[in-house]
Amino acid sequence: MAPKNNKRGLRKKAFLKSTKTKQISSSMAEEIDHTEDIEDNSTKKIRNTEKNDKLSLKMDTSKKSRIEILGEVLLLLKTDDSKNKFKSTLASMFKLMDIEDPRKRAIHWILTTFMNNLKDLNETQDLTYFAETCFDLLLPKQLLNILTTENDTIKEGLEIGAGGFGIIRKGTFCLNNGSEKIVAVKSPNKVDYKLGIRREAIIHSQLDHPNIVKMIAFQKKPTKLVMEFMENQSLREVLMYHSDCTEYFYAWIIQIISAMEYISDKQIVHRDLATKNVFVNSKMSCKVGDFGLSCFVGYNNGVYEEKMGELQNHNTSPESRVTQCFTTKSDVWAMGLLMWEMYFLEQSKYMYETELMFMLFNCMFKRPSNCPTGLFNYIIHKICIDDPDSRPTFTEIKEFLVSNEHIFFN
């Protein structure tokens, strides 16, 4: 039997050999989505140089797909008895990867889940590196097709806000035809936040809905997330600084609920739904944005457990504050708060934000005088209730409000 240290060295050597890929061409992205062998006779060189590591790897893409290479690396990890925590994750992955029709979304989310597990455990530097490599392999087709690598295609201007993990600036994005488009550009305000924005890009790039802020491009180095520019900024700013907006409330609420219905159908939990993260364009239409805290729950029975630190926002549901577990019903709670907040801010435009956050965090719900009684009762007695299982779905909320539009005007 080979010495244990020798085994570990062989595994590490094989691991590095299999995963030393830090740049991916768009042709490889096609292969991730379709899991086909590349019919290309040329050999592509993929090189990543670390400060203290000169190792490089030439990968013959005509022989093996990225999924096959990843499978070999996972097998090496699976046979390592010292990493017991990975065994259940790996076993589930292998089982799911054996499905007859491993289409792009299934493979993407299976491997994304594994990458998140690696990041959370963060047991060794090698595993952290592997997690980053997985990220490169997992960038979805939609994102890779619009991946921006030229710095001069994005020009940043004045700061217009801040979101999860970064600063948002107004800027311009140079299109392929030479024209420029006004955009919002999100950049990390700390080095540690780069991965956060990259994870946000994975979620955001999967979403395509008329009431969700459109993602336009992602630049890897330096890290930048490019989104459509919303002329009227956040819904909170509109409510606080514009004159009477109640005539828009019904349309806005239906638009936001429609977006959240779509998001929940994608098995994604937003985790930070609030007026500050809903944006208004020049046509006075609302769109949900800022997916910095969002997560996929499709392979976790619809539940995401926060392990990196307590999340205690004003819009965090009661059960999530206690358990740090988040579900779609957590977002439903936040939707109820958002509806109440809309009427409250319209009535109390000049309240300090700290006072508002205190009221929301402590669930001090009083009916704003401009909020119809029927709507207020529905929010308090149907949506913002303690038992998450008894809360309605976004579809049920939308159906009720569409069928009972009159409660907005009584």
End-to-end CA distance of the chain: 81
Tokens of 138: 């997992």
One of 136, 272, 290, 331 is an active-site residue; which one? Answer: 272
Burial of 29 (0-12, 13-18, 19+ CB in 10 A): buried
Output Rg (C-alpha) for the chain, integer angstroms: 23
**C-alpha span between 162 and 276 (Å, rounded):** 10
- Return all residues near 256 (Cβ < 8 A) that are at least 6 apart: 211, 278, 286, 288, 335, 338
- Return all residues near 390 (Cβ < 8 A) that are at least 6 apart: none
Q: Is 63 annotated as a binding residue?
A: no
272 is catalytic: yes
**Cβ contact 171:149 at 8 Å:** no
Q: Which residues pair with 295 in a beta bridge?
A: 269
> What are the CA-CA distances from residue 222 to residues 23, 160, 197, 226 (Å)?
14, 20, 11, 12
Among all residues, which ones are annotated catalytic?
A: 272
Which residues are part of a known binding site for ATP? Answer: 186
Binding residues: 186
